[in-house]
Amino acid sequence: MVDSENKIKILPNNIANKIAAGEVVQRPASVLKELLENSIDAEANNIEVFIKAAGKTLIQVVDDGYGMTESDALESFKRHATSKIFSINDLEEIRTFGFRGEALSSITSVAKVEIKTSQKNSNLGTHLFIEESDNVIIEKGNYPIGTSISVKNLFYNTPGRRKFLKTNSTELKHITDTFKRIALSYPAISFKFWNNDDLTFNFVSASMEERVKQVVDENILNGLIEVEENTEYLSIKGYVAKPTYMRKSKGEQFLFINKRFVVSKIINHAVFTAYDHLLDKGEYPFFILFIDLDPKMVDINVHPAKMEIKFDDERSIYNFVKAIIRKSIGQYDLVPNISFNDDSEISTSLRQENSDYIPKGDFNDRPFSKSNFNQKREKQGIYKEEEIDLLFSTINPNMRNEVTNRNSNHPFEENVYQHSSNITEESGEKSSTSFLIALHNKYILSPIRSGLMVIDQHVAHERILYDKAINSFDADMPFSQQLLFTEEIKLDPADYELLKTINPYLVKLGFEIKFKSKNVIVILGVPPDVKSGSEAETLKGIISEYRINEEENHLEERDNLAKSFSCKTAIKAGDKLREQEMRALVDHLFATSMPYVCPHGRPIIIKIPLTEFDKRFGRT
C-alpha cells in the first residue's frame, strides 16, 4: 500500500534561520565582522567594540553613523531585508559590505540582540529587544545619533554549536584579527576595542601609513617596500616585505579588494611567485595590498561570509599583480626591474626583461650572457655588521668553548673530529689541519672518509634545543638568566591569555614572567639560550609559532612548546659562526636523540659520496 501522506514540508522560519545562520555566524568573530561592516556602510566616523568572555557573553558595536528609523530597525533583522540592492543588476555594482540581508537575521536566530538607534533629525530613538523574530520588545528614548547593537549569549539556543567553539584565547584571537583587518582598510575611521572593560586598541583617525603602524607594529615600515600602480583596469597600493623580513606564518597576508578583506589563492600565489627564489622553504612574505577594480570584474557573492571571490579574468589579474610586486622588489635592488609597454593591452603589456634572477645576497655569480652583460653588480650583504655581532650568542656560552669527550654515535664512518681532518685514502695518514667550512653562513661542510657531509646549521640547532627543552620539562630544574634590565611588553589579549596557559612550561624552560593587568607582562629572566637583546622578540615568536602549531598541526602543549621554543631560539641561516662554534654545534647534534631530522621533520644532514665527485670529474 502506497503512503499518500506528503513527506516534503516547508521549514518554519525559526528553524530555517538557525540552519542559514551556520553559514554566516560561524563563531563570535563572524558576528563582529558583520556588525562592523554595517557600521562602515552607515558612514560612521567613530566605532567602538566591546567584548566579554571572548564574544560568548557579549559582542557590542557602537557607531555614530546615520542610524535607523523604527521601521527600518524592525525590518533589518528579517531575512533578506537589505537597503543595498533592489534589482539583479545591482549585484554587478556592489561597493558596500552588506547586501544579502542575511547577517542580522542569522544573528538574531542564535543570540539575544539589543538595538539602540537614532537619526540626526529624530526627536526620539528606537530601542529593540529581540529574542526571536516573533518576540520583539520596542521602546522609545533619547539615544546618541548612530546605532548600538549588542549580541548576548551567542548560541544560547543551539548548544550543539556552542560546544564547538574553541578556547577563549583562540576565539579572542579570531576577534582581534577581524577587528584589525577592518581597521586597516578604513584608516579615516577611529576604532576602539574594549576587552572585559579594558581599552585594548585605540586607533585614532590617521593616514594609511600611520594606521599600518598602529595596527601591525610601530617599526613595521622599516621592513616593508611600498607598492603602488594605477591603471584604467585596476589599481594596486600597499606594502610588501623586504626579503630580509620574511615570516613563517601564512596568516600575515592582508588582501583587500575594493576595501573588503578577502582570501585569494590566486593573488597569494602571484605575490609568492614574484619573490621567486628569494624565499626559503617555509617562508612567507608579509604583505598588505589594496586592489581597486570595477565591481563587474569580481564576484564577491560566492559565499555568505563574502571572504571568497572570483575574478572575471584571473590570468590578467595574476600577471598584473606578479609583475607589479616584482617591479617593487626590483627597486630594492634584489631582482631585475620590469618594464611596461604602455601601448599594449593589460593582459599582454607586462613583460619581463630578464629571465635570470639574482640569488638572495649574491650579485656576482650570475651567468654571463648578453641579457646581463652590463648588469653586473657589486656584492651587497643582507646583514649589517652590527646585526652579525654576537649572533651566535643564542647558543649556550658553555657550549661555545667546550671540547666534549662524550662517546656519541655518529652516522658516518669516523668520529666528528676525525672526519673534519684531511685524510688521504692512499696512506691513511691524517694531516694536522682539521677544519669545517661554512657555506654562505647557512650550511656546514665537513670532509669524511666516504665523501662530504653537509649540515644545515639552523635545523641542527633546532634539534639540539628541542631535545634540551624536552629534558627540561622532565627534569623540572629550570635555570633562568636574570635580566639586568627587565622588559615590559603589552600583548594582544588573546596572546596574553595564551601566555598564561603555557606559562608553567615556560617556567621549566627558564623563563620568568610577571603578569600585570591590562595585558601587560614583564620579562624578568630567560633561558641562557635566548640571545641577549632579543628577549621580547623571541617570546612573541614563540607565541606566534605555538598558535600556528596548535591550529594547523594540532600538537599537544608540551611538544608544541618545545618545537616553538627551538624554532624561535635557534641560530638562523645567515648567522656567522666561528669554526670552534661549528664544532660545538656538530658535537652536540650527534649527542641528540635524533640527529638526522629536525623536530619539524626536515633533514639536518646530507652526505655526498666521493664516488659522485669522481663521476662528475670523469674519474669513473
For residues 116 and 143, give the distance between their C-alpha atoms in angstroms, rounded to a whole number.
7
Copy the grid coordinates of residue 301: 557573492
Short-list 40, 11, 42, 37, CA closest to 24: 37
3-class DSSP assignment, residue 527: coil
Copy the grid coordinates of residue 198: 579594558
Whether the CB-CB separation of 257 and 309 falls below 8 Å is answered with: yes
Percentage, residues of the chain above pLDDT 70: 72
Mutual angle of helices 103-110 and 13-24, in 10-degree steps: 110
Long-range contacts of 384-391 (CB under 8 A, 24+ apart): 388/575, 388/576, 390/531, 390/532, 391/531, 391/571, 391/572, 391/575, 391/576
Range of the domain at 246: 216-372
Instruction: Please identify which residue in the block is written with the cell numbers 583596469.
Output: 233
Whether the CB-CB separation of 136 and 74 falls below 8 Å is answered with: yes
Q: What is the pLDDT of residue 242?
A: 84
Copy the grid coordinates of residue 548: 600556528
Average pLDDT over residues 478-484: 90
Copy the grid coordinates of residue 106: 542569522
Rg (CA), the chain: 29
The verdict on 345 and 426 lying in the same domain is no
Helix ranges (DSSP H) in 225-302: 265-274
3-class DSSP assignment, residue 74: helix
> Does residue 3 sit within a domain?
no
The verdict on 446 and 511 lying in the same domain is yes
Last residue of a domain, one of 339, 372, 405: 372
Which CATH number goes with the domain that contains 276? 3.30.230.10
Buried b (16+ CB within 10 A) or exposed e, 135-157: ebeeeeeebebbbbbbbbebbeb
3-class DSSP assignment, residue 33: helix
State the pLDDT confidence band at 203, using cuts at 50, 70 and 90. very high
For residues 37 and 260, give the distance between their C-alpha atoms in angstroms, rounded to a whole number.
9
For residues 351 and 372, give the distance between their C-alpha atoms in angstroms, rounded to a whole number.
16
> Does residue 6 sit within a domain?
no
The verdict on 412 and 475 lying in the same domain is yes
Q: Which has more pLDDT, 335 or 105?
A: 105
For residues 44 and 138, give the distance between their C-alpha atoms in angstroms, rounded to a whole number.
24
Last residue of a domain, one of 207, 235, 255: 207
DSSP string, 360-423: TT--S-S---GGGTT-------SS-HHHHTTGGGGS-HHHHH------PPPSSSS-TTTTTEEE
The verdict on 198 and 226 lying in the same domain is no
The DSSP H or E segment spanning 17 is helix 13-24
> Does residue 7 sit within a domain?
no
The verdict on 148 and 220 lying in the same domain is no
Instruction: Please identify which residue in the block is written with the cell numbers 522560519.
Output: 13
> Does residue 383 sit within a domain?
no
Which CATH number goes with the domain that contains 479? 3.30.1540.20
Long-range contacts of 79-82 (CB under 8 A, 24+ apart): 79/13, 79/16, 79/17, 79/20, 79/105, 80/105, 81/105
- Residue-averaged pLDDT of the chain: 77
pLDDT value at 471 more than 80: yes
> Does residue 5 sit within a domain?
no
What secondary structure letter does DSSP report for 308? B
Pick from 96-110, 189-203, 329-343: least confident: 329-343
Greatest alpha-carbon span in the chain? 104
Sign of the dihedral defined by the CA atoms of residues 110, 116, 119, 120, in that order: negative
**Element counts in the chain: helices (H) and strands (E):** 18, 28
Last residue of a domain, one of 173, 207, 241: 207
Sheet with 481-490, side-by-side order of all strands:
481-490, 520-526, 512-515
> Does residue 246 sit within a domain?
yes
* Number of separate domains in the chain: 3
The verdict on 81 and 175 lying in the same domain is yes
Q: What is the pLDDT of residue 3?
A: 59
Average pLDDT over residues 307-331: 84
List, for residues 408-456, the tens digit of each pLDDT value.
444 443 433 333 333 333 334 444 346 789 999 999 998 888 788 889 9
Whether the CB-CB separation of 319 and 347 falls below 8 Å is answered with: yes
Sign of the dihedral defined by the CA atoms of residues 143, 147, 148, 151, in that order: positive
The verdict on 236 and 322 lying in the same domain is yes
pLDDT value at 568 more than 60: yes
State the pLDDT confidence band at 336, using cuts at 50, 70 and 90. very low
Whether the CB-CB separation of 283 and 248 falls below 8 Å is answered with: yes
> Virtual CA dihedral for 551, 515, 52, 539, nearest 10 degrees?
-30
List, for residues 153-194, the tens digit of each pLDDT value.
999 888 878 888 999 999 999 999 999 999 999 999 999 999
Short-list 489, 478, 539, CA closest to 515: 489
Sign of the dihedral defined by the CA atoms of residues 69, 70, 73, 79, in that order: negative
The verdict on 405 and 553 lying in the same domain is yes
Instruction: Please identify which residue in the block is written with the cell numbers 514540508.
Output: 9
The verdict on 166 and 75 lying in the same domain is yes
Sign of the dihedral defined by the CA atoms of residues 603, 608, 609, 611, in that order: positive
Short-list 544, 455, 458, CA closest to 494: 544
For residues 127 and 125, give the distance between their C-alpha atoms in angstroms, rounded to a whole number.
7
Instruction: Tell me the one-letter amino acid at 399.
Output: M
List, for residues 506-545, the tens digit of each pLDDT value.
999 999 999 998 899 999 999 999 989 899 999 999 999 9
Short-list 394, 385, 446, CA closest to 587: 446
> Does residue 377 sit within a domain?
no
Q: Which has more pLDDT, 283 or 93?
A: 283
The verdict on 173 and 254 lying in the same domain is no
> Does residue 541 sit within a domain?
yes
For residues 455 and 571, give the distance between their C-alpha atoms in angstroms, rounded to a whole number.
13
List, for residues 397-411, the tens digit of each pLDDT value.
443 343 333 444 444
The verdict on 224 and 188 lying in the same domain is no
The verdict on 510 and 614 lying in the same domain is yes
List, for residues 69-123, the tens digit of each pLDDT value.
998 888 888 765 454 444 444 444 444 544 445 778 888 888 999 999 999 988 8
